[in-house]
Every structure is written in structure tokens, then in C-alpha cells.
Amino acid sequence: MIPATVTRKDFLSVLDFDATDLERCLRLAAQVKADRTLGRLAPTAETLSGRHVAMLFDKPSLRTRTTFEIAIRELGGHLVALQPDVALGRREPVADVARNLERWVDAVIIRTFSQDVLQEFAAAAPRLHVVNALTDQEHPCQALADVLTLQEHFGLLRGRTIAYVGDGNNVATSLTHAAAMLGVHVHVASPEPYQLPHAVVQQATSVARHGARLRLFSDAADAVAGADAVYTDTWTSMGQETEADIRRRVLAPYQVNDELMALARPGALFMHCLPAHRGDEVTADVFESDVSVVFDQAENRLHGQKALLLMLLAGRGADFGLRMAVD
């Protein structure tokens, strides 16, 4: 047995994990997924007993909110569902909210706009675990589910290629971080105004392992050629609604349709974090096709986040009686 926990306080970014943490998280996620049929007899069913986890969402959510709520309950923890009227940073300083919550709960899961606000929150409360449930810049919990889904379909991920087509946004950023760490080549195709930020390219390059390469393209067809999976996300993220018209015009050549999928490897997977907009970033045909694994991704949000909570919150050295192979 090896300890499955990490000493990191927060998960604000995939980059808060190193490659070993990420690989352990994936193994733990696969384990808790398999154990789910055991219900209350699962080895982790009481791991968070007596622990409180708060959630605060400044933006809408279906998947993230629901899967964290179930994860906390299935690990024996207690959920505190904070209301948006907490008005993070507007009713009282961000640091004050964090220092209050630190006195009551063990962890806070936050969906908000600015990554800087999340960092300020986490820095103000040294005993409080903080998890990023999506910011404008990153969506690391989504990336856990994405790489878990890829692993389920491909087994060993090293040397595979994923093509992300469209807006170089929060989902693209966290996917790029995670894929590079796991040795997956990443091709990103975006129009000039919506490219992956340069800082993300540098970060991914510095954490890349096993020869993983990140390549940026302006042409979707070039990015997708030979890829094992094709990923896209909405062209207009939450908070960008006033830009929807211009984004739709500029991003139109990046729609994932049958013609584009035909350029990928035969049987290449189609991936999307959801919610999806049929007729914009993806056609209904591709979304509903046999290679679409979007609901596997959605399911894996639960298992990935359960593993994450275990790694952050279980006592140092805990192994949960799990079958974690030594690296």
C-alpha cells in the first residue's frame, strides 16, 4: 500500500498536482468508480465523516454542483451549500469570507470569475482546503474527468494525441495542463483572438512528460489530422455573453462536424465538457454519434472529484484500504 493523499492544501489548478499526484488521483478515481456499487460498504464511505465541505457558486452549474454534492455525501461528509448572496468580494473582503469559513468547515469548493480571487481566498485561510470548481481561466476538475475518460478508452495515454478545437478557454487550459503531464500530445486550433494564453503554453511545456508536445494551429483540419480524440467547448463561456455574436462569427470555421471528424484517426473520440450548443461548436450528428463520450466525461466528474476530495482531505498517509499499486 502507498499513501493516496497529497500534502497540497488546494486544487486551484491542475498545476497544483505533479504528475505523480495526477496519476494517483486517476487510479483512485477508477477505484472509487468500481467500488460505487458497494454503497455504504465502500471502503471510503465514511472517510469524510464529521467533516464539512462548503460550496459556493457565483456562476450556474449542473454537473459540477451535482457531482460534488453526491461525492461529499458518498464519502460520509456534510455539505454546506452557500448561497450566491455571500457575494464573494462585494459584501465583505474575499479574505474575510475565507477566514470565517476556515473556522467552520474543512474545505470550500468555489466557482467564480477570477482565478486571482480564488488565489486570494486560498492564501487567506491556511487551514482551509480550496477547490476550483471553474474560473474564467481554469477548470481543473473537468480535466480530471477528461483524462480519466481518455484513460478508460485508451489505457496507457502516453503518445496519444488530443486535438482541442475552438476557444482557447478555461477548459482548454486545464485539459492542456493535464494531458501534457500525462504524456499526451496536445493540438490546439483557435482563431488568433481566442488562442490559448501564452502563459499556458509555457506552463504546459514545463510540466510535459514522456515527450508530450503542445502545438498551436490556426487551421482546425491541421490540428485534428490523425488525432485520437477531438475536444471542443462552447464558443461563449459564462460571463462572455455580450461577445456571443462576434465569437460565433470568428469561431464558425472551428465547428466540429463530420468532415472534421473524418480527418482524425478512425474511431477517434469526440469530447465536450458540456453544456453543448448543437449547430455552433458541434453538430448534432457528431454530438450524438457512436464516438461521442460526453456523458462518460459527465459521469467521471463524480469519480474524479471523489478521488480529489479523498486526496486533499483524508489524513496524511491514509490509504483507504485501497488497492493502490506502488509506482
Q: State the residues that interact with ligand NVA by CB under 6 A.
A: 134, 169-171, 233-234, 237-238, 273
Residue 208 or 276: the one with the smaller Cβ distance to ligand CP is 276
Q: Alpha carbon of 266 to those of 154, 261, 287: distances in Å?
A: 14, 9, 16
Beta bridge partners of 54: 80, 108
Please return the burial class of 279, using the count of CB atoms within 10 Å of its CB with bins 0-12, 13-18 and 19+: exposed
Closest distance to ligand NVA from the beta carbon of 281 (Å): 10
DSSP-derived 3-state class of residue 189: strand
Residue numbers 53-82 binding ligand CP by CB under 6 A: 61-64
Residue 117: CB atoms within 10 A of its CB come to: 17
From the list ligand CP, ligand NVA, none, partner contacted by residue 97 (C-beta under 5 to 8 A by kind): none
Closest distance to ligand NVA from the beta carbon of 167 (Å): 7
Residue 183: CB atoms within 10 A of its CB come to: 17
Closest distance to ligand NVA from the beta carbon of 59 (Å): 7
Among residues 142, 151, 203, 297, which one is catalytic?
142
Is 272 a binding residue for ligand CP by CB under 6 A? The answer is no
Among residues 51, 111, 185, 303, which one is catalytic?
111
Closest distance to ligand NVA from the beta carbon of 131 (Å): 15
Could you write out the DSSP letters of every residue in 27-65? Answer: HHHHHHHHHGGGGGGSTTTTTTTT-EEEEEESS--SHHH
Residue 145 or 261: the one with the smaller Cβ distance to ligand NVA is 145
Closest distance to ligand NVA from the beta carbon of 127 (Å): 29
Q: Which of 96, 75, 99, 78 is nearest to 87 (CA)?
A: 96
- Tell me the C-alpha distance between 141 and 148, whole Å: 11
Query: Is 273 noted as a catalytic residue in this protein?
Result: yes
Residue 57 or 320: the one with the smaller Cβ distance to ligand CP is 57
Q: Which residues contact 283 (CB under 8 A, 6 or more apart)?
A: 255, 256, 257, 258
Contact (CB, 8 A) for 235 and 166? yes
What x-and-dash track marks residues 108-147 binding ligand CP by CB under 6 A? --------------------------x-------x-----
Q: Which residues bind ligand CP (CB under 6 A)?
A: 61-64, 134, 142, 273-274
User: Which active-site residues does the annotation give?
Assistant: 111, 139, 142, 233, 273, 301
